[in-house]
Amino acid sequence: MAPHGRDTSPGAFPVVAGVPATGPTGRWRAVPAGRVVRPPTYREPPLSIRSQRRFTMALFDLPLEELREYRSASAEPRDFDAFWDRTLREARRHELDARFEPVDTGLSTVQVYDVTFAGFGGHPVKGWLRLPAGASQPLPLVVEFIGYGGGRGLAHEDLLWASTGRAHFVMDTRGQGSAWGGGGGTADPVGAAPAFPGYMTRGIDAPENYYYRRVFTDAVRAVETARSHPLTDAARTVVIGESQGGGISLAVGGLLPDLVAVAPDVPFLCDFPRATTLTDRHPYREIGLFLRTHRGRAEDALRTLSYFDGVHFAARGRAPALFSAALEDQTCPPSTVFAAFHAWAHRDKAIEVYDFNDHEGGGPFQEERKLRWLRAYA
């Protein structure tokens, strides 16, 4: 998702010139009385929470010290596991029907395959599989999920992971792919009751009807599809994603027990009770606007959302994980990301914190961090 600009409304505190603190993110911030906030005494945080914040400043969400302690109050449904076991069993009754068609991209170092497989309900879902050209042995596999509104893009895009010598599978997101990037090509043939424009309230009347039940099921089937190719090593599978893609990777990390690593960046779809009342930025705001019209349905909506909350999937995570959060992120507030991080069940986990960033998060700096981190796993 594209980053949003900073608040320039009357009363907002402007950034003024000053000497930066240690690291590139330090800065001075003016306060109404004209004083300059000085850096407080700083204590080095635990190694599992890496941050460069040194200055006291107005934050959208909780300060870092409180984020380290924050835990979600999201209530897990009693039948959460049974719901997802039943959902995946139903999906697996359909043949995977995975097809890999070579694409002539003009690239000399990467071979691209146009992939189709049977997702939720046996519906056809698209993807790209990218392999280093000339690969002859099974390769570590990175499966990636896409941010809100985007699609798989074009065949020649996104060559980073194949350039590392890994297989790279990108799943198209059903019904999306028309808001940014190179587009998508997967329909969502399932209808829904009246919903607010967007995807967040499609089928929100019941967990069985909710849009993300189909998406998360597609994502599990995408991993199974990628693993079915003879040049991928199923035993070295990683899932990654940013924003919505991060939320999907959390779901897959909770539903598949045999991944070697999970890397969700500024993940969406986490801690719904807090997110839906904390931020007025879309996509979470779609839920509030739906409930503004459909008065009296908040309890039912939150019950549906509880089956898709990244916090509950995180509690089932069985692989090492690298998260990232941005402290000025109003799209996926940092407390909702920390809620999923703290809930992640595997002990080998870390979170990168980008102090002065909005929803763009760490961008290429986080890519560099993941490149180094993944060497230990795949």
pLDDT in tens, 128-171: 999 999 999 999 999 999 999 999 999 999 999 999 999 999 99
51, 74, 243, 335: the catalytic one is: 243
The verdict on whether 79 is a catalytic residue reads no
The terminus-to-terminus CA distance of the chain in angstroms comes to: 27
Instruction: Copy the structure tokens of residue 361.
Output: 């998060």
Radius of gyration of the chain measured on its C-alpha atoms: 21
pLDDT at position 12 is 35
The rounded distance, in Å, linking the Cα atoms of 275 and 20 is 32
Task: Work out whether the CA dihedral 367, 368, 372, 378 comes out positive or negative.
Answer: positive
CB 274 within 8 A of CB 334: no
The rounded distance, in Å, linking the Cα atoms of 139 and 44 is 38
> For the chain, which ranges sit under pLDDT 50?
1-47, 54-57
The verdict on whether 249 is a catalytic residue reads no
The rounded distance, in Å, linking the Cα atoms of 209 and 207 is 5
Count Cβ neighbours within 10 Å for each residue of 301-318 and write b for 16 or more, e otherwise. bbebbbbbbbbbbbbbbe
pLDDT at position 189 is 92
Other C-beta atoms closer than 10 Å to the C-beta of 198 total: 19
Give the start-end residues of each E strand in 133-231.
139-145, 167-171
The rounded distance, in Å, linking the Cα atoms of 210 and 305 is 8
What is the three-class DSSP state of 16? strand
Among 153, 366, 159, 116, which Cα is nearest to 263's?
A: 366
What percentage of the chain carries pLDDT values higher than 90?
Answer: 81
Instruction: Copy the structure tokens of residue 160.
Output: 């980073």
Q: Quick: pLDDT tens for 296-311.
A: 999 999 999 999 999 9
Mean pLDDT of the chain: 88
pLDDT at position 52 is 58
158, 265, 329, 358: the catalytic one is: 329
pLDDT at position 58 is 53
Place of tokens 């995570």: 317
In order of their start, the domains of the chain are: 61-374 (3.40.50.1820)
Rounded alpha-carbon distances, angstroms, from residue 267 to 68, 113, 145, 218, 242: 17, 28, 11, 18, 6
The verdict on whether 188 is a catalytic residue reads no
Rounded alpha-carbon distances, angstroms, from residue 54 to 24, 32, 110, 352: 11, 20, 43, 15
pLDDT at position 194 is 83
123, 168, 294, 359: the catalytic one is: 359
For the whole model, what pTM was predicted? 0.86
Number of H helices, E strands in the chain: 11, 12
Among 180, 318, 345, 335, which Cα is nearest to 260's?
A: 318
Among 325, 334, 324, 327, which Cα is nearest to 278's?
A: 334
Task: Kindly give the residue spans of alpha helices, DSSP state H, lying in the chain.
Answer: 64-67, 80-92, 160-163, 211-228, 244-255, 272-278, 285-293, 298-306, 310-314, 334-343, 363-374
